[in-house]
Structure 1
Amino acid sequence: MADLLELHRRLQDRFGELVHSVGSGDWERPTPCAEWDVRDLVRHLVGEQLWASPLLGGESVDEVGDRFAGDPLGDDPVAAWEAAAHASRAAVTEAGALDRTVRLSRGPTPARDYVEEMTFDLLVHGWDLARGLGSNTALDADAVDHVL
């Protein structure tokens, strides 16, 4: 079975492939997440990726505050995804990152658990995005085994 960082990388790459495949008329397509269209779903994952660097860097949710408020996608959702994914990957793969504690709204949490949650979200919402786009919805078997 692949390790956590490898699974995170693969699922992040897969989500990125899907983001790159979104056509100009696809952003408002529905997804299995009843309250989110494709743009909302991508916005959610971009936001999640943006939080990784400050949280893994030692900031608390309160310290980050409203830094990522608003629409992080702007006029170029693909570029927003790429920038957020790059920053997240750098933070997650930094030496010792998984051994830290992150300060979430629910309290101190092992960083490994936080990255597990991010990986789970990439798996589930990658499927949601693929479904919304009419793309291949096959799931990474190692990732499914890992999160179950």
Structure 2
Amino acid sequence: MSGTPAPAADLRPLHRAVLDTATELVGRVRPEHLGLPTPCAAWDLGELVAHMTGQNLGFAAAARGQVTSAADFAPRPASDAPGAGFAASAREVAAAFAEPGVPARRFALPELGPDVTVRAQRGIGFHFVDTVVHTWDVARSLGTTVTFPAEILTPALEIARAVPGGAAREQPDAAFGPVRETSATAPGPAPALDQILALLGRSPAWPDGDRTGGDRTDGDRTDTA
């Protein structure tokens, strides 16, 4: 998110609320659901949950000031109880973000490159918006919906708007697919969640729309400021 200003507000309470919603939805996933398609074209539901779990654990390690490696963020394959592993990882990242001193730290994010660190507020923002979008991914894969209050969607939209677009989105290893159009059903701007999804390469109408390309890594986290 090159050039993205760090969020002014402490996102941690909102981040925790999104994690709670994600935990409830992932808790509905059963072994027979793991092969379901998701809005992330590269992943089925089992792979998506494994990715989300790994990211939780990686960000928890980064928040605690550890010198992390890519292995800390690697997917954790879902077990026969997919929700249990995810729930444990969600508790861990929430607890790590809540530790005293976290706002003053820098997060080591090796997925961006060797020795790359970002300010805590920015790192929390990355994980926050990723969790919002992946929670929607899980809901749609299960054939249901999810809603978030405006207090969550407003900062998430601000972060999503700052993700660079352009030709880089067309590359095979792009973090997100190209920006999508939203289908307005009423005058005025599309709902905030639809805007976030479209900005991050998803069709808000999925699965009626085509599969989007979605995430191949876990968001565009290229700002090291």
**Counterpart-to-counterpart distance in 2, 1:23 and 1:144:** 28
- The reply to whether residue 59 of structure 1 matches residue 66 of structure 2 is yes
User: 130, 144, 152: which is aligned to 1:143?
Assistant: 152
User: 21, 36, 39: which is aligned to 1:29?
Assistant: 36
Taking every aligned residue pair, what percent have the same amino acid on both sides?
A: 34
**Counterpart-to-counterpart distance in 2, 1:114 and 1:27:** 29
**Cα distance change, pair 68–3 in 1 and its aligned pair in 2 (3 A):** closer
Deviation at 1:72, TM superposition (A): 4.3
**Cα distance change, pair 96–144 in 1 and its aligned pair in 2 (3 A):** same
Q: After TM superposition, which residue ranges in structure 1, 4 or more long, deviate above 4 angstroms?
A: 67-70
Match of 1:85 in 2: 90
Unaligned runs of 5+ in 2: 1-8, 159-225
Structure of higher RCO (CA pairs closer than 8 Å, 6+ residues apart): 1
Match of 1:99 in 2: 104
Aligned length: 145
Greater helix content: 1
Deviation at 1:112, TM superposition (A): 1.2
User: How big is each residue's C-alpha offset from its partner over 1:5-25, in whole Å with a ceiling of 9 and x where there is no partner?
Assistant: 111011000000101111332
Question: Cα RMSD (Å) of the superposition?
Answer: 2.0
Match of 1:6 in 2: 13
Deviation at 1:87, TM superposition (A): 1.0
**Counterpart-to-counterpart distance in 1, 2:151 and 2:66:** 31
Unaligned runs of 5+ in 1: none
The one-letter code sitting in structure 1 at the alignment partner of 2:32 is: G
**Counterpart-to-counterpart distance in 2, 1:68 and 1:121:** 14
Give TM-score, length-normalised by structure 2: 0.59
Give TM-score, length-normalised by structure 1: 0.87
Deviation at 1:136, TM superposition (A): 1.7
Deviation at 1:92, TM superposition (A): 0.4
User: 42, 46, 50: which is aligned to 2:57?
Assistant: 50
